[in-house]
Every structure is written in structure tokens, then in C-alpha cells.
A and B are shown apart, each in its own frame.
Chain A
């Protein structure tokens, strides 16, 4: 780094002093469009929040999907092992799901 050797010999002070213009530049660049973005962020904050129930349902959806997939898989295995065509007695749900 090409810093002025006449600057303070303390590297902390020296580096901080050399970095200040870049921080100012970043601040100015960040200021462009800041207010518009902030307004948008605040509007998002102000929008009605989902209820506890909505959140709970949304979070439990993947679990419900997983359980459904497992049931379908189990049914698939049952069909594969028993064959699709079964006697009338075996159409009962208990027999399908509990394999009795």
C-alpha cells in the first residue's frame, strides 16, 4: 500500500487515515436511492402480518407433504407385493393400510 511515509508511524492511525476517503466514498454511494429503498422496506414492515395460525400451517406444510409421501410409498409397496387385482374382501381400507 502506497501510504505517505510522513504520516504517523502508528500503523493503526496510518491505515485508518488512508482508508477514510474510501469510507466517505462508500457512504456517498450508499446514499444514492437510500430513501426510496427504505420507504419500500418500511412498507413491507407495515403490511399486515400473518397470524399465528397461518404461520403454523405454512410451517407444517412440508411435514404434511412428507407424511403423505410416506403413505403413498407404503401403498405402492403394498400394491407391488400383493398385486393390483385383489379379491373383493381385500378392498377394505383396513386391509390396504394395515396389511391384515
Chain B
């Protein structure tokens, strides 16, 4: 986790006053983190880039709403989590159709990610396949369950962090995370991933 500093406070203040170059310094500082989060949700680099961009644009537009009481990083993380939740909701219905297509392929039985990964050798092909399996399984969860299990299991955030970023109580996060993980395990077992 990045340490907040007076310098950062000054940058945030400047960005709130409309200084785009100050904001870009903040982007440079947190780009890695936000792209990392986006890569847990997007299924190809383009989706990851779009999601990360949406997060930063939302941060830029909503900077006036940041009151400085919590560290900037926490506020940024909350905005990012909310945006990821909206991303999951937006893609939930569309992806349901895609999942059917993935499970009943009509061509050579391989999807776009697998075909791309083939060019980079067996290890990456396995990783791409695992990513696709995970995405398909997460797709079968509700958006809230997919969010909590992604944040907890894939990104490794603590219960307290997930609660802070989602606005749910820690009890709710615990219960939901447990239930979602159990359901994900069942789905993976159904898919033959044992």
C-alpha cells in the first residue's frame, strides 16, 4: 500500500482545483494498482484498459466529492470498487449469452483468448485457459458474489478492506464471501476443475 504524504495532499488539492498535470501524477502513482484491479474483472486487455480508464475518469469527475477525511488511496479504492461492481452488473446479462457460446463452440472449440495465448507457448495457454474458466465460473455468480469473491480470493483483500470499499458491514462481507466461495467451488467442480 502506498503511504499517504503531504505531497499527495497537495497534489489532490491541485487536482481538485482542475490541475490536470497534478492529477496525472496521481494517476502515475496509482496506475499499477488500478490496472491490477481492472485485470481481475476484464477478460481481455482492451476491457482492462477501458475499465481502468473509466475508474480514473470517474475519480477526476468526482474529485470535488473527496473531503480529505480518509486517505486518498482509500477513497480511490472505493470509487474503483463501485465502478467494478457496475462493470459486473453491466456485463452480467451480456456474458450469460457468451457463456453459452463458450460452452458450445461451433468452430474449432477455442475462444479468442485461447487462440491468442496459443501464440505464446503452453504455459501462457494454460494460464489463459484458467483465466477463461475462472471468468466463466464467476459469470455464473450474482454480480455481488462475483465482486466479493474476486476482491477476497483473487485480489487478496482483507474482510475489513472489502467492507470499507463496498460499504457493506464486515459481517455481511464474511457471510457473502463464504457463500460465494462455496458456490464458486461447486461451479468449478461441475465444470470438471477438480
Which residues in A have some Cβ–Cβ distance to B below 8 Å? 1-3, 9-16, 18-27, 29-31, 34-35, 37-39, 41-42, 45-46
Contacts and interface: CB of A to CB of B under 8 A. Distances in A.
B181 A26 contact: no
B122 to A, nearest CB: 8
A22 to B, nearest CB: 4
A3 B126 contact: yes
Nearest to B42: A26
Contacts of B49: 30, 34, 37
A34 B154 contact: no
B79 interface: no
A59 to B, nearest CB: 22
A16 B154 contact: yes
B39 A30 contact: yes
B134 A15 contact: yes
Given A22-B113, A23-B39, A30-B52, 15 more contacts: A1-B129, A3-B126, A11-B193, A12-B188, A13-B153, A15-B193, A16-B154, A22-B124, A22-B131, A30-B39, A30-B49, A34-B31, A34-B49, A35-B28, A42-B60
Given A19-B127, A34-B53, A26 B194 contact: no
A12 B181 CA distance: 8
Interface stretch (B19-27, B67-75, B81-89, B159-167): B19-27
Contacts of A25: 124, 127
B130 A27 contact: no
Interface centre among B56, B127, B153, by most A CB within 10 Å?
A: B127
Contact of A30 (B45, B124, B128): B45
Contact of B130 (A22, A24, A38, A46): A22
Interface of A (DSSP majority class): helix
Nearest to B129: A1
Interface residues of B, number: 46
Contacts of A26: 39, 42, 44-45, 48, 131
A7 B35 CA distance: 27
A12 B184 contact: yes
A13 B184 CA distance: 11
A1 B133 contact: yes
B39 A11 contact: no
B131 A23 contact: yes
A23 B44 CA distance: 9
Contacts of B184: 12
B185 interface: yes
A23 to B, nearest CB: 5
Contact of A35 (B27, B57, B154): B27
